């Protein structure tokens, strides 16, 4: 009989057990590290918003606004990947590849990413003066993008280690746990009670497995914070 993959084992365990176990603890562990940038995504959003004043009759302001919004997105992407310890693994280093990882992690839907990419490409590669309505749409999409990633950073920072048990018991009776070592970019899932458990480790060198494990981790973070229920998590990991 063919041995199940790590992805299959994780899917099967969560599907079979999540409804009967309860979150019993969480740990923020170490604070996330961020790059030593002089400017940050919200700085660029503020610059872009400042350019919106009187922009209707000023083509220079239109171009400057687009440039600031582009930098806000790139800065947020690079900050997120750095904080997750993934900067060295995302190759080649370009915008489409970075966005592919965001989609694979389940942070943004494919439709949202396509829309953002489409607007970005239209604005940056046609060598034309952008229309006001397009700039406003790009601003809204960029602001949503930055705030969404910031929200996930806060969620991850507070849930680097999660524990589940048969009931709300102590850690010694944990039957399921997940931890993310952002310094090494390794996700560890421990399935089953202590001394009988199996540990599944996921590293970004195996991109597809890692993205599934990270997508599942984010779902479990949201579940542990009562943002989604057990049925939602199970449905998502089975898709």
Contacts of 216 (CB under 8 A, 6+ apart): 10, 14, 233, 237
Q: What is the pTM of this model?
A: 0.89
Name the average pLDDT for the chain.
89
Structure-derived torsion over alpha carbons of residues 149, 151, 154, 156, reported in degrees to the nearest 10: -60
- The total number of residues written for the chain in this structure: 239
Give me the pLDDT at residue 173, please: 67
Helices and strands (H, E) in the chain, number of each type: 8, 5
Burial grade of 219 (CB within 10 A; 0-12, 13-18, 19 or more) = buried
Tokens of residue 67, six digits: 């440039």
Q: How far is CA 18 from CA 29, 83, 177, 219, in A?
A: 24, 29, 11, 12
Cα distance between residue 13 and residue 36, in whole Å: 40
Give me the pLDDT at residue 188, please: 97
Burial grade of 6 (CB within 10 A; 0-12, 13-18, 19 or more) = middle
Is the distance from CB of 106 to CB of 236 less than 8 angstroms?
yes
Give me the pLDDT at residue 148, please: 94
Residues of the chain with CATH 1.20.120: 41-157
Confidence band of 115 (pLDDT split at 50, 70, 90): confident
Tokens of residue 220, six digits: 């479990």
Cα distance between residue 13 and residue 24, in whole Å: 18
Q: Which comes out higher in pLDDT, residue 239 or 123?
A: 239
Each residue's pLDDT tens digit, 155-192: 999 999 999 988 655 545 678 999 999 999 999 999 98
Is the distance from CB of 214 to CB of 160 less than 8 angstroms?
no
Instruction: Report the percent of the chain where pLDDT is more than 90.
Output: 66
Fold of 41-157: 1.20.120
Contacts of 237 (CB under 8 A, 6+ apart): 10, 11, 14, 15, 215, 216, 219
Give me the pLDDT at residue 1, please: 45
Give me the pLDDT at residue 120, please: 75
Give me the pLDDT at residue 3, please: 67
Instruction: Give the lowest-confidence range in 82-86, 107-111, 179-183, 220-224.
Output: 107-111
Each residue's pLDDT tens digit, 8-45: 999 999 999 999 899 988 887 678 899 999 999 999 99
């Amino acid at each position: 009989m063919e041995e199940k993959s790590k992805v299959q084992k994780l899917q099967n365990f969560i599907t079979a057990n999540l409804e009967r176990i309860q979150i019993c603890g969480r740990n923020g562990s170490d604070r996330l590290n961020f790059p030593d940038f002089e400017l940050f995504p919200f700085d660029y959003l503020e610059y872009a918003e400042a350019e919106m004043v009187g922009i209707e009759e000023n083509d220079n302001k239109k171009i400057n606004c687009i440039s600031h919004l582009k930098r806000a997105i790139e800065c947020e992407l690079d900050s997120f990947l750095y904080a997750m310890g993934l900067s060295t693994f995302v190759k080649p280093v370009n915008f489409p590849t970075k966005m592919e990882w965001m989609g694979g992690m389940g942070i943004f839907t494919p439709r949202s990413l396509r829309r953002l990419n489409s607007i970005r490409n239209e604005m940056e590669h046609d060598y034309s003066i952008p229309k006001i309505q397009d700039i406003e749409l790009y601003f809204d999409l960029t602001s949503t993008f930055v705030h969404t990633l910031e929200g996930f950073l806060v969620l991850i920072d507070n849930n680097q280690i999660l524990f589940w048990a048969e009931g709300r018991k102590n850690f010694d009776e944990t039957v399921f746990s997940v931890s993310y070592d952002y310094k090494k970019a390794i996700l560890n899932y421990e399935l089953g009670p202590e001394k009988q458990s199996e540990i599944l480790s996921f590293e970004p060198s195996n991109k597809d497995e890692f993205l599934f494990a990270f997508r599942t981790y984010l779902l479990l973070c949201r579940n542990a914070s009562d943002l989604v229920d057990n049925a939602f998590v199970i449905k998502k990991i089975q898709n």
